[in-house]
A and B are shown apart, each in its own frame.
Chain A
């Protein structure tokens, strides 16, 4: 999100999901849409039916790639080179929207200089994609009247994640495909309320609605509203920094609510070591997750089915969550757990319902200012929604009026991933989801029908590599990186190229995150879960 925030001034999906049906070309990069966001794929299938062109770029030939007019299989971690090559062609062929660039953007010259110094042949070499395909890709996107970009973690989970996103923002501005219906740069959020957690200030640098903690006015406003003399003005620690803080004895206590870093975070053995070390580990969850097993105290919260509240989806739509059944056993509402701890700690909270909390959020958050539970009956509201009369905002940056004023071009040069293959670790390994499971499997693996579909982890490997390793479909393989090793079943498939393997990360028994690389993007601090180097041998 940092990349989009820097380019446009707002780190969120620019357009609504339904608008994908109205576009002329859809460019999917780094998203296994039909598996991870099936309801977005619905719109894409409809768009194809209406005649839209589909372009898919992904190292793994996923299901929706089968419907693409053009499928590009570039090497993992080479997105910037591919996009720069594409933009080179767009500029050479005169497909850039010069009027849009002149009126609505800045720093174009610096960006142009970067592209001028790069050739399509170089892109072809780095990505292992033919010049012809890069040209076709550029033309298909560049010539469309309205074109929309869809991306997901295949773009962001890299040490170059922010640069990847900025490159996509460059591409949309270069062709004027932003600020109009059916266009835009659309990151698909992986989790039900990741948008909301960001909106609510679940980040070390901002309060709700992205109001910076370092900004005097915001700081003062929240201190006053919360009845304290002062609030900290230094930016707090990100998750990887908290782990580092525990290692060097600066962080002593950690309160983890509804997260499972032992399975979700890179270099899992290291995460486990760190969580064992921290003096106080509080885990608030609904299952005894591998993370909860390490806790000093475990507080049983409730699932979505037992609570009232709101989620914000990938298109910034705030929607109601409603209580269907009473809490299971002696578990408690998560907001009540926090309130109770706060009161015992000596900081008084007196909310009597989630709605009461929401009204306070709306009063302190301009983008949520006009939202109330009453207005959320029906179809929900897309923020920004600043006033009670405001209808909500389906797409951002209307008519090239960017949230930050003018859209900012960034000159981006290609850098390889933090870890590259070598003689010792000769395979590229990438990770992702499967259709029947979700994230660390805490919920889906406890669902009978989903566990039935896919009960265990597996490694996708190309038939050529399987033959070289003398291993059959369904057999066990030992996979190791510089950080750890696992033994897993294999699935032979040409979805992956020779030299590239793929593994889902939902399964703690075959936890692929023991192998992944914790090296992270310097700005977004997002780890490089999508690329590392591994070796394989018959188990």
Chain B
């Protein structure tokens, strides 16, 4: 798979269709986000699999936004899995990236990773390498909903109490790009003390993610306190889907119902 990806990137760079490609590289014995600019420098390219498939994924779209803001005229390539491609669709919709300035190199996730993520669509629409595997049903949310209410309440309260307010869930999130963040709005959330305001801090972020979260799971992986944030956002996404028939990033040109004025569209 890596050879196909390498060939594709090499071609994009050599025929000048992109200025650079945002992907992953092996350097200093670790996987790192990288901007490849020359076709001869592709030796360290990797896909972020170390002990398990996809266990060293990074928010490459976030890297792309940083570079694109500085170089708005240039076209860049980016390595994407299913979730990353969903992310791009949302970022196009929210005017953070220009679709005609981005070329994707899409890879499919193996079954093992898809299962671990309970991913609905573990492959991108535009696939360059890898075999498409089936989407997985989201059992985790169901299990949580099956807990009785008081048990569920104390489960989340206990999880939120562990928060050390690193803001890592926001800082790693490829969908978080706001210059002003509601988590730093003192009218909503008090600051200066641990634990954080429970549940306001986490629910404010969950609200903010309802039509954005593309279920990449990077927040879960970066939380130093092991709070199951992905599960929380899967739940809000499920509500969005139930109420509006909307799933963030699944359809390329779909507007978020939260962007529309007037009554809710029919399901």
**Is the CB of B224 closer than 8 A to any CB of chain A?**
yes
Partner of B165, one of A49, A322, A435: A435
Give the residue name and chain of the B residue nearest to A377 (CB). Answer: B29
Q: How far is the CB of A44 from chain B (nearest CB, A)?
A: 10
Interface contact A41-B192, CB-CB below 8 Å:
no
Is residue A378 contacting chain B, with contact meaning CB distance below 8 A? yes
Closest residue of chain A to B171 (Cβ to Cβ) is A449
Question: Are B191 and A41 in contact (CB-based, < 8 A)?
Answer: no
Q: Flag the segment in A31-39, A80-88, A189-197, A208-216 that touches B.
A: A31-39
Contact of B224 among A39, A322, A377, A434 (CB under 8 A): A39
A322 to B162 CA separation, bound complex (whole angstroms) = 32
With both chains docked as a complex, state the minimum distance between the C-beta of A342 and any C-beta of chain B, in angstroms: 31
Does any Cβ of B come within 8 Å of A454's Cβ?
yes
Task: Give, as a whole number of angstroms, the nearest-CB distance from A354 to chain B.
Answer: 15
Q: State how many angstroms separate the Cβ of B44 from the closest Cβ of chain A.
A: 13
Contact of A34 among B30, B184, B194 (CB under 8 A): B194
| Overall SS of chain A's interface | helix
Question: Is B29's CB under 8 angstroms from A379's CB?
Answer: yes
Chain B residues with CB under 8 Å of A320's CB are 28
Cβ B28 vs Cβ A377 within 8 A: yes
Assess the A49–B161 pair: CB atoms within 8 A.
Answer: no
Cβ distance A66 to chain B, nearest Cβ, rounded Å: 6
Q: How far is the CB of B45 from chain A (nearest CB, A)?
A: 18
Q: Enumerate chain B residues within 8 angstroms of A39, measured Cβ to Cβ.
A: 224
Contact B224 A42 (CB under 8 A): yes
- Residues 448-497 of A at the B interface (beta carbon under 8 Å): 449, 452-454, 458, 491
Contacts of B166 in A (CB 8 A): 38
- Interface SS majority for chain B: loop
A46 to B28, CA, bound (A): 29
> Does residue A118 face the partner (Cβ distance < 8 Å to B)?
no
A222 contacts across to B, CB distance below 8 A: none
Give which listed residue, B184, B194, B225, contacts A35 with CB less than 8 A: B194
Once the chains bind, are A35 and B164 in contact (CB under 8 Å)? yes
Q: Mark B1-44, 1 if CB is under 8 A from A, else 0.
A: 00000000000000000000000000011100000000000000
Chain B CB within 8 A of A335 CB: no
CA gap between A39 and B225 in the complex, in Å: 9
Report the minimal beta-carbon distance from A492 to chain B, rounded to whole angstroms: 11
A67 at the binding interface (Cβ < 8 Å): yes
Which residues in A have their C-beta under 8 angstroms from that of B135?
A: none
The contact of B164 among A38, A49, A454, by CB within 8 Å, is A38
- Least Cβ distance of A35 to chain B in Å? 6
Flag whether A387 is at the interface (Cβ < 8 A): no
CB of A103 within 8 Å of the partner chain: no
Residue from B29, B193, B195 having most chain A Cβ neighbours under 10 A: B193
B226 interface hit (Cβ, 8 Å)? yes
* Smallest beta-carbon distance A169→chain B, Å: 29
Cross-chain contact B224 with A452 (CB below 8 angstroms): no
Name the residue of chain A whose CB is nearest to the CB of B27. A377
Least CB distance from A452 to B in Å reads 7
Contact with A along B184-214 (1 / 0, CB 8 A): 1000000111110000000000000000000
Are B161's CB and A66's CB within 8 A? Answer: yes
A63 proximal to B (CB < 8 A): yes
Interface size class for chain B?
A: 10 to 19
Q: Does A425 contact B (CB under 8 A)?
A: no
Contact of A42 among B28, B192, B194, B225 (CB under 8 A): B225
Taking the closest CB of chain A, its distance from the CB of B151, in whole angstroms, is 17
Q: What residue in chain B is nearest A435 (Cβ atoms)?
A: B194
- Inter-chain contact B28/A378, CB cutoff 8 Å: yes
Interface centre among A63, A66, A67 (most CB of B within 10 A): A63
- Asked if residues B184 and A45 are in contact (CB atoms below 8 Å), the reply is no
**Alpha-carbon gap, A46 to B225, bound state (A):** 8
Q: B226: which of A42, A322, A453, A454 is its contact (CB, 8 Å)? A: A42
Whether B30 lies near A378 (C-beta < 8 A) is yes
Closest to A63 in B: B194
Q: Which residues of A contact B162 (CB under 8 A)?
A: 34, 45, 67
Whether B184 and A63, one on each chain, are in contact in the complex, defined by CB atoms closer than 8 angstroms, is no
- Bound Cα distance from A39 to B166, whole angstroms: 11
Please give, as numbers and ranges, the residues of chain A lying within 8 Å of B29 by CB-CB distance. 377-379
Residue of A nearest to B161 (CB): A66
Per-residue CB contact flags for chain A residues 9-47 toward chain B (1 = under 8 Å, else 0) read 000000000000000000000000011001101100110
Q: Which residues of B contact A66 (CB under 8 A)?
A: 161, 195
In the complex where A38-B166, A42-B224 touch, is A454 in contact with B191 (Cβ < 8 A)?
yes
Q: Is the CB of B164 within 8 A of A41?
A: yes
- Residues facing A in B138-193 (CB within 8 A) are 161-162, 164-167, 184, 191-193
Report whether A45 and B161 are in contact in the complex, using a CB–CB cutoff of 8 Å: no
Q: How far is the CB of B209 from chain A (nearest CB, A)?
A: 20
Which A residues lie at the B interface, using CB under 8 A?
Answer: 34-35, 38-39, 41-42, 45-46, 49, 63, 66-67, 320, 322, 377-379, 434-436, 449, 452-454, 458, 491
Q: A34-B162, A63-B161, A435-B194 are in contact. List 15 more A-B contacts (CB 8 A).
A: A34-B164, A35-B194, A38-B164, A38-B166, A38-B224, A41-B224, A42-B226, A45-B226, A63-B194, A66-B161, A320-B28, A378-B28, A436-B192, A453-B192, A454-B192
Closest 9 pairs (CB-CB, A-B): A378-B29, A377-B29, A42-B224, A454-B192, A38-B164, A63-B194, A38-B224, A377-B28, A34-B164
